[in-house]
Amino acid sequence: MIIEFLSAYCQETDEDSLWNLEDLDYSELEALRAPKKIEESHGWFPLSPAGMGQFGFLPAFAGDNFDVADFIRSKSFAPTSNPFSGNIFLDDKERVIKKKNKMESYPVYPITSHGGIGFDYMYSPGIYINLYSRVVVSQTTGLLFSKEPTKHFLTKNGTRKKLKEAGILYLNEWSLNLSIGVQLPIYGAFLKVGEIGINSYYYLNVSPSADLVFWSGATQYLQIANAKSDLRYNNGRDTLQLFESIAMGNINRFRFGLDCAIGWNGGVGPIGLGFELFSYIPLSSVIDDATWKQYKFGFRWKLIFPDYQK
């Protein structure tokens, strides 16, 4: 490197001029000889490099929703003899919906679910806890049930039999979710050589979360569960629709909760992958005149694009 520097210096001077080694700028030589800065941390609670950022794209995540309601009523529900709860007291065969005047069944019936797509970003300020944020568009479906235990009917041979009738409320919603919190690397390793980085670590995320529900549709119906071959409603089916895909007037459009996740991130250079298990603990009710909360959980994966600052 010194020879190349001297050669370049000589080319810039006149051929018959003289130069003095004492006049050379040795700081430039030192910069050429200086090794790249290396940062490394591994083991329990590793320290990520200061200034490190990770942009993540969540192409899809999938999970489920668990509705919790303790025998509630609401002004938005069609009146029923009994209140609603999140307990599913029907088995799969009882929940099947029969076609009109026939014994064939529809192939599906309402189920709970939670999924979506989004982005996240992690930034390391150079301490053991990193800053974390996420924006997600998600769809959540929920179910509430009520049962009528006092009705009976007569079979074809004149036998009195107890009727199992259910009231079902199905809620389908789309929402925009914003989470801002912290990420704690639990175990793993970070290596940064110059502007190139390698990392592999397990972490814990804890993020307060705010949701804006921008579309909501509720469907409520009655269903005959245990006498599908003997009874039908007046419409010729074993289900009686009370309303379908309406926006309930007392929906809480703004909701709050706590998003917790444990996962793994790994990357080499400008790209990486991440996987995590998550759970969402609601702090707000779905409706404003009764306590109906939705606990969500599932699996997320993402493409990661690290940015190692100088």
- Map out the domains of the chain as residue ranges: 1-34, 36-307
Q: What is the dihedral of CA 262, 268, 269, 273, to 10 degrees?
A: -40
Integer Cα distance of 69 and 92 in angstroms: 21
Banded pLDDT at 9 (limits 50, 70, 90): very low
How are beta strands 254-268 and 239-246 bridged, if at all? unpaired
Integer Cα distance of 111 and 171 in angstroms: 10
pLDDT at residue 92 tops 70: yes
Task: Mark 71-110 as b/e (b = at least 16 C-beta within 10 Å).
Answer: ebebebbeebebbbbbebebeeebbbbbeeeeeeeeeebb
Q: What is the mean pLDDT of residues 157-164?
A: 79
Give the tens place of pLDDT for each residue, 182-210. Answer: 999 999 999 888 778 899 999 999 999 99
Burial of 261 (0-12, 13-18, 19+ CB in 10 A): buried
Q: pTM (2 decimals)?
A: 0.82
Classify residue 77 by its DSSP letter.
Answer: S
Q: What is the mean pLDDT of residues 295-309?
A: 90
Integer Cα distance of 251 and 255 in angstroms: 10
Q: What is the dihedral of CA 294, 297, 302, 305, to 10 degrees?
A: 70
